[in-house]
Structure 1
């Protein structure tokens, strides 16, 4: 099987449901690990929210205003699972996913995402009508109730169709199946969230697992070679995504 859609990828990673698929090292030393089964549940909950709250479907444009983060991967996979299109800053969206709702005060269809690992809700004032993603998503089931099927020719990104999404994610250099892959920014702000999405899609489609670092954690490890070596050994990382850029 050559997985080409998010639905295909979810089937690949749940063949071994307990195996770690995303491991996130965030600010302040937080470490979050999602197995294949847990990642699928998060994506399914997100899909249910997008469909039931916003009627998300092929043609719906979802503005992604989130930093590189494991929650960003979950939301992106949910958007693509319903066949919708992710757009980035500077482009209008029908729905806005953001960690900074004050940046979008006039948006009626606003989803506020709190990034801390244990956040159960958004800590702050939300505009009227905004959805508190962390609270809302937990009210939805772990299995998809119903979701539209992606149209292969519809846009998944501004310039990439759903049919072309897998090719967009694949690096030009050959990679092995089942790798444990490290993703890290090479400099503050670079690479950005789209690079993380590329790495996540490609790694999981190959049956591998991803270790991703927040920018602050990546910077700290670049300044502490011993700490970075311990990470590589402890997490049994077999390759680094930057090798394939």
Structure 2
């Protein structure tokens, strides 16, 4: 049964983001990174990040249905934001294989821009640390530094192409159309409430679909980096403190 009011659809990313802001201050994505980093995105903050990123995609790259955006990023809160923004404008998230820079795409969003030099892609360099104000490393000439660029765009979506349900929404070798993203996400999530999860590896569709499934059931995700998850598995007391403080209802760290 849908957790949302009767008659209200939750079939598109636009619907989902609107519904999440019914409780704008409620945590929706929480990140536990290495070295004690913790980032919490409420419904309102998550929507703002997605809107800013979607505005960038449209303004800089004319992104829309048919645009392929390679997300060459590890499991991370920023990866979730970029995926939601790509879907919000009706474009297709493409996930890397072992030869990531050879995957056909129009735009590459990556934390390792050097792997995509001289391939004819439009490259966006993403700094993963929450407080980063610029990408700290070499990047191809003409590439975009997401750390500064995203922040220049409005918190409110200016304009986005209409999502075409039958157009590809996800491609990791198996194509999922936009119309099926929610159902695929619910299958991947497999739970409701507030889930503690280990962030999935680069190129793993579950890195995107599990948090999307949590959100689609009016829940939330607490994502732990692989190193943090390993530390939690080795320290039962620390793990229990985190479960209690975050009010976790599904501890799925494995």
Same fold (TM over 0.5): yes
Q: In 1, Cα distance between the equivalents of 2:191 and 2:138?
A: 45
Instruction: Please tell me whether the aligned partners of residues 12 and 205 of structure 1 are also in contact (alpha carbons under 8 angstroms).
Output: no
Question: Residues 144-223 of structure 1 correspond to what in structure 2 (within 5 A)?
Answer: 144-158=157-171, 159-171=175-187, 175-176=191-192, 179-185=193-199, 193-223=204-234
Q: Structure 1 unaligned segments of length 5 or more: list them.
A: none
**Pick from 98, 110, 128: which aligns with 1:98?**
110
Q: In 2, Cα distance between the equivalents of 1:191 and 1:122?
A: 19
2:187 partner SS = coil
Alignment partner of 1:114 is 2:135: no
Partner of 1:125: 138
Partner of 1:231: 242
RMSD, matched Cα: 1.8
Q: 1:172 to 1:87 in 2, by over 3 A?
A: closer
Q: 1:183 to 1:40 in 2, by over 3 A?
A: same
Q: In 2, Cα distance between the equivalents of 1:137 and 1:163?
A: 27
1:166 partner SS = helix
Alignment partner of 1:61 is 2:61: no
Q: In 2, Cα distance between the equivalents of 1:192 and 1:237?
A: 26
Partner of 2:96: 89
Paired residue total: 238
1:136 partner SS = helix
Instruction: Please tell me whether the aligned partners of residues 194 and 219 of structure 2 are also in contact (alpha carbons under 8 angstroms).
Output: yes
Query: How far is 1:224 from its partner?
Result: 1.1
Query: How far is 1:202 from its partner?
Result: 0.9
Q: 1:172 to 1:198 in 2, by over 3 A?
A: closer
Instruction: Please tell me whether the aligned partners of residues 198 and 225 of structure 2 are also in contact (alpha carbons under 8 angstroms).
Output: yes
Q: In 2, Cα distance between the equivalents of 1:156 and 1:2?
A: 19
2:205 partner SS = helix
Partner of 2:5: none
Q: In 1, Cα distance between the equivalents of 2:130 and 2:148?
A: 13
Q: Deviations over 1:131-153 (max 9, x none)?
A: 00010000000011111011000
Runs of 4+ in 1 over 6 A off after TM superposition: none
1:115 partner SS = coil
Q: Deviations over 1:68-88 (max 9, x none)?
A: 000000000000001111111
Q: In 2, Cα distance between the equivalents of 1:65 and 1:21?
A: 23
Q: In 2, Cα distance between the equivalents of 1:126 and 1:208?
A: 37
Q: What's the TM-score once normalised by structure 1's chain length?
A: 0.92
